[in-house]
Amino acid sequence: MSLQRSFPRIFFCLCLGLWASGAAVINAQDRDVDIAPLIESLDTLSGIEKIEALNRIAEILIQREEHVDAGRFAEEALKLAESAVNVWEAVRARINLGTALLFTGGDNIRTIEVLKKAAEDIESLGKDPGDIPRDRILSSRFKAAHYLGRALTSDQDNAAAVAAFQAALESAKEIGNDRAVADTLNRLSICRLFLTEYAEAMAAAIEALEISQRIGDTRLTAANEYIIGYLHRDLGNLDLSHDYFQSSLKNARKAGDDYRSAMALNEIGNVLVLQSKFEEALEIKKEALRIGEDIQDAYVISCCLHDIGNIYRNMKDDRQALIYFYRAFDIDMSSGNAREVAIVSRSIATIFLDGNEDARALSYLERALRFLEKTDYLKERLAIYLNLANVHDRVGQKDRALEYLREAYGLREQILKEESSRELQEIQTKYETEKKIRENEILRQENTVKEIALKQQKTVRHSLILLSTLVFVLASVIYSRYRIKTRANRDLEQANLRIGDQNKELSEAYARLEDFSREDPLTGLANRRGMMEKFQEEKARTERTRRPFSLVMIDVDDFKTINDTYGHDCGDLVLKMIADVLRGSVRKTSVISRWGGDEFLLLLPETDLDGARAAAENIGHRVAQAVMPWKGKDLAVRISLGVSIFRGGLDIDDCLREADQEMYERKRAAKTAALS
């Protein structure tokens, strides 16, 4: 059913609502402290006393959700603590600053860096805390890991977020703060759901629900009931799902939480859609939309608009569907949420595809793909690749169609492997269940035989009856066991044949497309896969000859602005121009790749760090001198570069991380210089 395409985005909206619902779960009593005397005393304080006062003010402001002011005091505290080489106060300042950045929607890259550093330093302090009380160490460890998990989830790095929330959960349990435990389990279940780890997600959500009910937190209870309802709906348990969403709605209203009320209503509507009750679903979702508009929450409004559009699609009313899709698209573009833009773009494109408006469909599909190409939403990307292949085939662009089919086959292979593994596990579980039933039946029948033998042992006649019954029962048992075993073996064989056929089909397709899989179609450079193979070759050669190689990571500055201002055709020409500059700037033995989106990566064989930096400066100079004409204007393009060298004790991922880190530091420094 087409509405299901929007389910993940609804859950993502719920996460944003959860994360915006409060700043801290530790030391909430600080909210009512009068900070005026503290602020007035700052001019008279110096050294460690001033740093402590600044951190104290920031912590209180965070409790009051005055995050902009909190960030300002935390920045000053961090600067002074670093100058004084006071690790503990620097940790406090980083936690406060990271929290403030998280809740003000600041630079998420910096937010993650600040909180990671805080988490690393608090671990070091935990080994040698000096005179710092253990409860303060635990509280700070919890905050650093907890807010790092939030920032990573906002960055859609759910695997890393799980690790952070696990660390926060350990600290919360050691502290003994039930609300912190329940809140962290809630967020952990959301991340695991995004990773399709349903069993782990359900276990975390149920534990969180039990705690939130025990402590009487109706707001958190509503959030956990929502997650469990969502999981049951994905597992096909629609009645249970509906019950949990209704309970979530009831508790959200009891807590006065309009946001969660809207989201629960929205999911009740989704269950009705799955039951093909479109008219009822439409009324429910329009009620959720009205609440979203009342509280002026862009995410709720966008979710509801998109889902209402999907309902109209199911009701064969494409004109109304487009009206709601366009409204959702405008909101998602304004909020800058890439994944939401991609999903609604594909929804619009499907209407144009059905109407044979290929050019308009192609425009929205390519936009959707650009926004999704760096994510791990495999099934959504697969659907877009197939749509793009279909459109290009219809307009006669066979090469482009083949390229998109190649990408689709690669994703399909990965998805089918996961699904085949799941199917095999289900069959094995079925076999084990039948085996247990069979054993119980045999035991029951054996007990019956014993009872008959005891009752009939006094007479020959009864003995003959007993013998006949025994023979019959044993024959039945043997035959029953034979039939069950035969049926189970047949099911296993058929499943293995299906899996074998699928694997054979995928292997043949992969073999046909192998030669097309190492080149980026836009620039003609190596793609990520081609570059990874070159990494292995160069690593082996370096280990053999002891001659180093270096990496240069390149990112186009303000590339999104170029696309938004001049269009994606201009953006494509920028990428091609940079590719041409790179070809003319390095030796033929060097490997140039389009690493992804607006990022390029160079591999410089037999080049040390100084040589790599010289090459990077040359490239930066050439790009800065290059001028790209576009519709009567000369466009200047700037890039940021980062350099690393492969050396002993590192692997390729370490080198890539160093180059990427240096590139982002230079980009940030350039932006700071421009602002000043």
Residue 452 pLDDT level (bands cut at 50, 70, 90): low
Residue 338, pLDDT score: 73
| pTM of the model as a whole | 0.54
pLDDT exceeds 50 at position 23: no
Among 126-135, 255-264, 417-426, name the most confident range. Answer: 255-264
* C-alpha span between 548 and 537 (Å, rounded): 13
Lowest mean pLDDT among 87-96, 116-125, 282-291, 364-373: 364-373
| Higher per-residue confidence, 148 vs 447 | 148
605 phi, psi to nearest 5 deg: -65, 150
Hey, which residues does 143 pair with through a beta bridge? none
Mean pLDDT confidence for 204-214: 93
Report the CATH superfamily, name and number, of domain 26-176.
Answer: Tetratricopeptide repeat domain (1.25.40.10)
528-675 under CATH 3.30.70.270, yes or no: yes
Q: How far is CA 340 from the centre of its chain?
A: 13
Task: List the strands of the sheet with 549-556, edge to edge.
Answer: 591-596, 599-605, 549-556, 639-645
Residue 382, pLDDT score: 83
DSSP code string of 309-372: HHHHHHTT-HHHHHHHHHHHHHHHHHHT-HHHHHHHHHHHHHHHHHTT-HHHHHHHHHHHHHHH
* C-alpha span between 657 and 40 (Å, rounded): 44
Per-residue tokens: 6: 């929007």
pLDDT tens, position by position, 465-509: 666 766 766 776 677 677 767 776 776 677 567 667 666 765 664
Per-residue tokens: 163: 């690790």
Per-residue tokens: 392: 């290009």
Residue 668, pLDDT score: 87
Residue 363, pLDDT score: 84
Q: Is 405 exposed, middle or buried (0-12, 13-18, 19+ CB in 10 A)?
A: buried
pLDDT exceeds 50 at position 8: no
Domain ranges of the chain: 26-176, 412-515, 528-675
Residue 28, pLDDT score: 52
599 phi, psi to nearest 5 deg: -110, 140
pLDDT tens, position by position, 572-603: 899 999 999 999 999 988 999 998 888 999 99
Mean pLDDT confidence for 56-79: 91
On the question of a common fold for 26-176 and 528-675, the answer reads: no
Residue 7, pLDDT score: 41
Residue 19 pLDDT level (bands cut at 50, 70, 90): very low
Lowest mean pLDDT among 323-337, 406-420, 465-479: 465-479
pLDDT tens, position by position, 590-639: 999 998 888 999 999 989 999 999 999 999 999 989 888 888 888 889 99
Mean pLDDT confidence for 97-125: 89
Among 336-340, 353-357, 374-378, 637-641, name the most confident range. Answer: 637-641
pLDDT tens, position by position, 539-570: 888 888 888 899 999 999 988 888 888 888 89
Mean pLDDT confidence for 29-49: 83
Q: How far is CA 609 from the centre of its chain?
A: 35
Mean pLDDT confidence for 263-271: 92
Helix or strand or coil: residue 604? strand
| Higher per-residue confidence, 421 vs 97 | 97
Query: Do the beta carbons of residue 325 and residue 347 sit within 8 Å?
Result: yes
pLDDT exceeds 80 at position 66: yes
| Higher per-residue confidence, 57 vs 32 | 57
Hey, CA dihedral for 86, 92, 96, 98, is it positive or negative? positive
Residue 477, pLDDT score: 64
